[in-house]
Structure 1
Amino acid sequence: MFSEVQFQNYGLPEEGLEQYSKKWEGKCCCLLGMKVLQRTTRGRSPGLFSLIDSLWPPLIPLKVHGQSQDSQEIDGRVPAPSFCYILGACPDEKSVEMVEEPEPQVLDLYLPPVVHSLKTILQNVGSACRCSFNAQVIFKRLQVENGARCGTAVFSLYVTDPVLQNAAHHVPRVLQVVVTSSCILGADVVDAVRNALPCVIFFRDAVKETDKIICVERTVLSLQWSQQYSIDGVDFTQMTGPVKLDELDSTTNLNTLCTVKGTVVGVDEDAAFSWPECNRCGNGKLVESPGDTGLLYCRHCHQPVTEPVTKMELEVFLQCPWTQHPVKVKLHQETIASLLMSSNRDEGGYELECVLGKEVGPLSCYVRSLATHPSHKIGLDEIRLS
C-alpha cells in the first residue's frame, strides 16, 4: 500500500528540501500523529499514480496478504495499487522518528530513482511515464500554456546532455522541458535559470510526453545533480564547446530550437523600426530633454542622454536550400548590425533593400510559428545562447 504524507509549515525554506530528502529518503521511519485526509484513486489523482507506477513493482517479492511467509509468491506482473491514502502530518519534526534497526525486508521496499540520459528517455520511456535525468539548460522562454496535463506553464527550459549532442539525426539534440507552477523548485534553481545559464539541473520524476518533458506536481528540480543513480554515465565535463542545434527542415516542430542559414530575399517593412536607448541603463522610453536642448532625457537615470544607443528590429525572409518557401526570421541586434554595416545610410536611415541577396547564418533560432495549410509559413526568432 502507498501513502502520501503532506507536511504543512514544515520549515522547508530554512532547512531546504535537499536536507530532508537526504535525512528520510530510503530510511525506515515511524510516523506519529498522522491524520487521514483523503483516500484517492487513479481517476481523481492521475499525477500521483503516475509516480506510484514508477515505483512499482517493489524490489522484494510480492506475497498474498493474510497468508504465511511460506506461501506462494504472486506473479510480479500484478498491477499497481488502485488507491492511495493522503496523510497529514503535524507541523512538528517529532512526528517523524527514524527506526534505528529496521527489518531488512522493510529497507528493500525502497526503489531509488533511475537517472537516464535524455537519449534513453526519448527512445525507451513511454508517454505519460515518469523519468529522472540530469541536463544542461541552455535557453529559457516564458510562456503560458493551458492543457489537461500541463496546467499553467511558467516557462520552458531547453536542455541537452553530452549523449544527445553526439547522437545521430534520428533524435533531437535539444529537448523542451515545460516547467509548470505545480512542480517543486527552490529559489536557487530559479536564480540559476534567470542569471547563470548554462547550468546543470537534476530533474526528478518529470513526465515524458511525445516531443517534450513536463515538470508537473511532485516533480523536483535541483541544482545538486545526481550521479549516484545514473546508469548511463553522462559526463557534463565533456560539454566544453558550443551547443549544437538541429538544422531547420521539414521535420522541425513548433516551440523547438534550430539553426537556419539562407539568402535574404525579402524584408517585412511594416515590422522594421528603430529607437534610441539610454547608454547607461538601457531604458528605451526616452523623452525630449527639458529646456529645448535637442537632447534626449532618461527618466530612469534622471539625466540627459548625450550618446543614445540605436536599437533596431528587423524581420527578413530567407530562401533556404531545403524548401521553396521563404522562412521569416526576426533577427537579433548583432545580426542586424552586421547586415547593415556595409550599407549606405542617409539622414532618413537605411534603405531596407540593401540587405537583399546577402547570405546569413547559421543562426540559432526559436520556432515561434509553424503552418503548412493553407500556406506554408515558418516564423523564427533569432536567439543568443550563452
Structure 2
Amino acid sequence: METDDLPSIDSDSEVEEDNSASKDHIEHIDLLNPDASPAEISDYSYDDNDEDPEESRADSSLLDAAETSRQSVSEWVRSAQAILQTPQKQTPKSIKTPEDSSKKRRRFERGGLAERLNRLHSRQRSAISFWRHQCNSTTSAADRPDVLMLRILGVQEECGMQAAVCHRLLEGETCVALFSKDTAAQLQPAPGDIVHIYPPWQNLVVEGERYPIILNTHFSQKVCKETKPDNAGGPRAAVAVEKCRPPPLTRSLWRSETSQVSTETSIPCKQVGEMNRRGVRKSLLDAVEDCGSSGSQSDPVEVVVQRVYCIPITQSLHRASLKHRVLDRPPSESAPLQHIGRLCALVQDGYGMFGEVLLQCVSTESEIQENSEQLEGRVCLLQSLRVVQRLTRDKCSPLFTLIDSLWPPLVDPKSHDDLPQSPNDRVPAPSFCYRLSVLQGNMVPLSGQTESSLYRPPVLKTLKEIIQEESLRCRCSFRATVVYKQLLSSNADERELLLFVTDASLQMEPSTEGNTRTIAVCLSPSCLIQSSITQALDAPQTKPVLMFRDAVKENAQIFCGEQTVIQMEPEDPSFSIPRPIILDHLDPETLPYTLCSVTGVVAAVDESTAFSWPTCSHCESCRLETREQQKGFLCLACGAAMDEPSTKMQLEVFLSCSSLSHCIVKIKLQQKTIKSLLNSTRCTEGYSVENVLGSEIGPLSAFVHVVNRSHTVWMGLEEFDLC
C-alpha cells in the first residue's frame, strides 16, 4: 500500500531499535502529567517486564521533585496533550497485573518476513485509524482529484466481505466495490448511499467478468445517506445484507484453461445453482458441498452407476466407521443370516466427477447378482447421502486405477454452463473423489431409463493382449481357465491365493523365447470370492473357467482387489483351450511362483525328508487305530474298517537336467510319481537309494517355490497334477 500522501504514524514495531529512547520520552511525559493513561498514547508502548527496580526508585524520586514544579509547567502540559492526543482504540490496552509480569511477549525474528508483515499491518492500522479520526474531527475532508465517488446500487455478502454494485458518478460506469468486514461495519453501506473512496484504491479488471472490481477500499467515507420520510430523524437501523452463496465447485474445479467464462453468469454475488426443475442435483460436488463439514444428509443427486462390486464385511465395517456408523444397531434375536459382504457402487455424475457409494450388506450370492444387474449401467437417484471420507490418489490408488480406466467418458461431460465440453477443453481424470454412504432403498434407478450413454462396460481382452500392453499400471478384464492354485497365506484374515490361468491365445502361441504359457493372478484378502468359485477350485480334476472384471495389471503381474469381480463362466464351446495344457520349460531364467515342465535324471535323494505313513483307503485320513480281537484297522474319521491301509509316501530328489548343467534342481514328487519310481527298482522289501539313482523321470508339471542365484542357481520345485 502506498502511503506517500498519508500522515506518517510511527508504530511500536518501527521503534524497536530506539527502545531506550522511547522509554525515556514516555517517562518524561508521565512525570509531567501523572494522571494521563498510557492508553492515550497509542503510537508508543512499553513493556512492564523490562523495568528495573533501580529505575523504579529513581522514577519515584524524580516524581517527588516534579510535584513541586507542576504548577509552572501546566500550560506546557496542556499544549503537549493537544499535540500528542491520538484517537482512542476500541479495545483499550489492559494494565498488566503482577500475575502477568512473568510472561514475556513473543517477538518475531528481526528482519524476517513475519516482522516485516507485522510492520506493514501496524502501519496500515495506524494509517486507517488516523484517517478516520481526521475525517471525524473535521467537517469535511479535502477534495482531491483522484477520489472515487460511487452511488451504491446493491450490497451482498461474499466470503466474509461485502460486495457492492456501484455507479461511478463522474465516469458514468458500473463497478463492484469490495469492503472488508471492518470497513463495512464502519460505513454500513446500503442502496442509494453515496460513498467517497480515497486513494490508494485499485481498479482490477478480470477477464470474463462484466464489471471491474475496486480493491483497497479502507479509506472510504459516506457523504450522503439514503433518506426515507417514514424514519426521518430516527436512528438508522442496520441494513440486512443477504449472504451470497459461493459458486458451485464444478465451476471452480472443472473449468478448462482455454474455456471462456460466460458474461451472463459472471456477475459477482450471483447465485449459481445446479438444480433442475424437479429439485434434483446434477453434480456430486454440489451435493457434497451441501453436506458441509459435519457430513449430514444432502439433496438427491442424479448419477450413473459405472461399477457394482462387493467387499468382505470386515473391510467394509472398518471403512464405514470412519465418520458414520450405519450398522450401529445391536443384533436382535431374530437376526438375518450372516453377512458375507457389503455392496459398493462407483458412480459418476454428468460433469465427470466420480464417487464411491457404500450400499447395504448382503447375505447371499444371489442378492449380489440381483443388485448388480439392477444398478450397473443405469441412471440412479441418490437420496439422503452422507459423506464418509475424501479420497485421493495417494490414499486409495487402486480405486483411481479403476477411475482412470473409465476416463475419458464416451460422451463429453458437461461444463459449468451445462454445455458439452469440446475435445480441446477435455480435462484429465479427477485426482480426488468422495466416499459416500446411503441407507438401503435410497439408491433408486430412474424408471424408463435404459443403459446410460455415459456407462463404459468392461472390455474383455485376451491374456496375450494384456501382456503386450505397454502401460505399467492399468485395469483389465479377461476370461481364463484356472490351471493350478497355490495358497500363499493360511491365515483366515490374510488369506492370499495365487491362481495360474491360461487361455487359447497363450496355448496356441508358437514356442519361442520370451513367450509364457500361464499367468499368475494374485487374489488379495480384500477380494471377495464366492463360495461357488471356491468349491470349483477345491474340486479335484476340474479346470473351471472364470471371468475377471477390472483386475489390476502392474509391472507384468495381475492382482485382484476390492473393485475386482470374479464370476463363474458357463461352459462355452467357443472358449476352449487345447489339451493337454502346455507349460513353459524350466530354464535358468525361470522366476519363482511360476509353473514349468521339467525332465531330468535322479542325481540324489534327500533322505531326511523321505518317509511313509498309513492312511485310510476310503477317505485318506491318518486317524487309524488297530481293532481289538480282530485283525486290521479302524478309521476314526469315517468309521471304515480295513484289513490293510493305504500307504502314502513323501520323497524329494535332486535332478540333473541337460538344459540346466550348472543348476541344482530339487523337486518334491507326488504319490503316483513316487510309486512308479519305486516300482521301476523291482525291490520287494523297501528300496535302496542306489537303485533309484540314475532313473529318468518326466516331463513333470511343477510349481517353482524358490530360486536362489547367490552362488549357483538353486531351484526348489513341487510337482502337481495337471490332468
Give the TM bin, normalised by the shorter chain.
0.7 to 0.9
1:222-264 deviation line (CA, Å, top 9, x unaligned): 014799xxxxxx9423x24111100001221101110000111
Q: Is the 2:667–2:719 Cα contact (8 Å) retained in structure 1?
A: yes
Q: Give CA-to-partner distance per residue, 1:60-116, whole Å, 9 cap, x none.
A: 1245x323627755444x321011111112123xx22222355x9x92211111111
In 2, the alpha carbon distance for the partners of 1:313 and 1:84 equals 54
Deviation at 1:294, TM superposition (A): 6.5
Could you say which residue in structure 2 is the equivalent of 1:88?
Answer: 437
**How far has the Cα of 1:4 moved from its partner?**
1.0
Matched residue type, 2:642: V
2:550 corresponding residue in structure 1: 205
Measure how far apart 1:295 and its partner are.
4.1
Give the aligned partner of residue 618 of structure 2.
280
1:134–1:203 CA contact under 8 A, matched in 2: yes
Structure 2 residue corresponding to 1:66, chosen from 416, 432, 435: 416
Rg comparison, structure with higher value: 2
SS in 2 for 1:61: coil
Counterparts in 2 of 1:128 and 1:152: CA distance versus 1, 3 Å = farther
- From 407, 412, 422, give the equivalent of 1:56: 407
Cα deviations across residues 315-360 of structure 1 (Å, max 9, x unaligned)?
A: 111111111223111111111111111324354x111221111111
Q: Give 1:42 deviation, angstroms.
A: 1.2
AA at the equivalent of 2:561: V
- 2:534 corresponds in structure 1 to 190
TM-superposed deviation, 1:279 = 1.3
- The 1:290/1:352 distance shift into structure 2, 3 A limit, reads farther
Matched position secondary structure for 2:666: strand
Give the partner amino acid of 1:49.
F
Distance 2:419 2:502 in 1: 47
| Partner of residue 8, structure 1 | 360
What amino acid is aligned across from residue 358 of structure 1 in structure 2? S
Residues 353 and 192 of structure 1: CA distance in aligned 2, closer, same or farther (over 3 Å) = same
Paired residue for 2:708, among 354, 371, 385?
A: 371
What amino acid does structure 2 have at the position aligned with 1:120? E
1:178 CA drift (Å): 0.8
The one-letter code sitting in structure 2 at the alignment partner of 1:359 is E
Instruction: Output the CA distance in 1 between the equivalents of 2:455 and 2:677.
Output: 59
Q: Which residue does the alignment assign to 1:321? A: 658
| Structural mapping, 1:289-308, within 5 Å | 289-290=627-628, 295-302=632-639, 304-308=641-645
Question: In structure 2, what residue type is equivalent to 1:82?
Answer: S
Percent identity, aligned pairs only, is: 40
The code of the aligned residue for 1:29 comes to C
d(CA) in 2 for partners of 1:214, 1:70: 36
1:96 aligned partner, one-letter code = M
Change (3 A) 1:195 1:246: same
Change (3 A) 1:335 1:6: same
What residue number does 1:215 align with?
560
Q: Distance in 2 between matches of 1:281 and 1:275?
A: 14
Report what 2:396 is aligned to: 45
Deviations 1:152-208 (A, max 9, x none): 452111100000111243231111111112113322112211226301101011111
> Structure 2: which 5+ residue stretches go unaligned?
1-352
Larger RCO of the pair (alpha carbons < 8 Å, separation 6+):
1
Is 2:705 aligned against 1:356?
no
Is 1:244 aligned to 2:610, yes or no? Answer: no
Name the aligned partner's letter for residue 506 of structure 2. Answer: L
- Say yes or no: does 1:162 pair with 2:504: yes
Q: 1:192 to 1:302 in 2, by over 3 A?
A: closer
- Equivalent position to 2:446, from 88, 95, 99: 99
Give me the whole-angstrom Cα distance separating, in 1, the residues matched to 2:401 and 2:481: 25
Question: Which stretch of structure 1 is more off in the superposition, 157-166 or 317-326?
Answer: 317-326
Correspondences of 1:127-146 after superposition (within 5 Å): 127-144=472-489
Higher strand share: 1
Question: Is the Cα–Cα contact under 8 Å of residues 202 and 226 in structure 1 kept in the other structure?
Answer: no
**Contact kept in structure 2, 1:368 and 1:380, CA below 8 Å:** yes
- Contact 1:50/1:128 (<8 A) preserved: yes
Matched residue, 1:257: 595
Partner residue of 2:53?
none
**Change in 2 beyond 3 A, CA 1:144/1:272:** same
Tell me the SS of whatever aligns to 1:26: coil
> 5+ residue gaps in structure 1?
228-233
Partners of 1:301 and 1:22 in 2: CA distance: 43
**TM value normalised by structure 1:** 0.87
Distance of aligned partners of 1:74 and 1:4 in 2 relative to their CA distance in 1, 3 Å threshold? farther
Contact 1:61 1:74 in 2 (8 A): no
Match of 1:79 in 2: 428
Q: Which amino acid aligns with 2:463?
A: L
Using the TM superposition, give the Cα deviation of residue 271 of structure 1 relative to its aligned residue in structure 2, in angstroms. 1.3
The corresponding residue for 2:467 is 122
Determine the C-alpha separation between the residues in 2 that align with 1:364 and 1:372: 22
Native 8 Å contact 2:412 2:420 kept in 1: no
Shift of the 277–114 alpha-carbon distance from structure 1 to 2, 3 Å rule, reads: same
AA matched with 1:69: L
Q: Report the residue type matching 2:373 in the other structure.
A: K
Distance (Å, rounded) in 2 between the aligned partners of 1:340 and 1:174: 32
Q: Is the 8 A contact 1:153 1:178 kept in 2?
A: no
Distance between the aligned counterparts of 2:717 and 2:706, measured in 1? Answer: 7
What is the rounded CA distance, in whole Å, between the counterparts of 2:420 and 2:597 in structure 1? 63
Is the CA contact 1:125–1:208 (under 8 Å) kept in the aligned structure 2?
no
**TM-score, structure 2 length as denominator?**
0.48
CA pair 251-155 structure 1, distance change in 2 beyond 3 A: same
Match of 1:230 in 2: none
- For the residue of structure 2 that corresponds to 1:280, the secondary structure is coil
**CA offset digits 1:349-380 (Å, max 9, x no partner):** 11122111111111000001111113321111
Q: Please give the root-mean-square deviation of Cα atoms over the aligned residues, in Å.
A: 2.6
Change (3 A) 1:215 1:296: same
Q: How does 1:9-48 map to 2 (within 5 A)?
A: 9=361, 11=362, 13=364, 15-48=366-399
- Structure 1 letter corresponding to 2:604: G
Paired amino acid for 2:419: Q
